[in-house]
Amino acid sequence: MIETGLKDKIVIVTGASSGIGKASARRFAQEGCKVASWDVQETAPEANGIAQKVDVTDTGAVRQAVHQVVEQWGAIHILVNNAGILRDGQLVKFKEGVPASEMSDEQFDSLISVNLRGVFACARAVVPHIKAAGGGSILNASSVVGLYGNFGQTNYVASKAGVIGMTRVWAREFGKFNIRVNAVAPGFIATDMVKSMPEKVLDNMRQHTPLGRLGTPEEIANAYVWLASDAASFITGAVLSVDGGVVVGT
Task: Could you list the beta-strand ranges (E) of the chain.
Answer: 10-14, 34-39, 50-53, 78-81, 92-95, 98-102, 136-141, 179-186, 239-242
Of the candidates 108, 156, 188, 224, the residue annotated as catalytic is 156
Cα–Cα distance measured from residue 114 to residue 49, given in angstroms and rounded to the nearest whole number: 24
Nearby residues of 195 by Cβ (< 8 Å), 6 or more positions away: 202
Residues 137/174/240/20 CA torsion (nearest 10 deg): 40
Cα–Cα distance measured from residue 37 to residue 179, given in angstroms and rounded to the nearest whole number: 21
Cα–Cα distance measured from residue 66 to residue 121, given in angstroms and rounded to the nearest whole number: 11
C-beta separation of 74 from 132 below 8 A: no
User: For this structure, is 156 an active site residue?
Assistant: yes
Catalytic center residues: 156
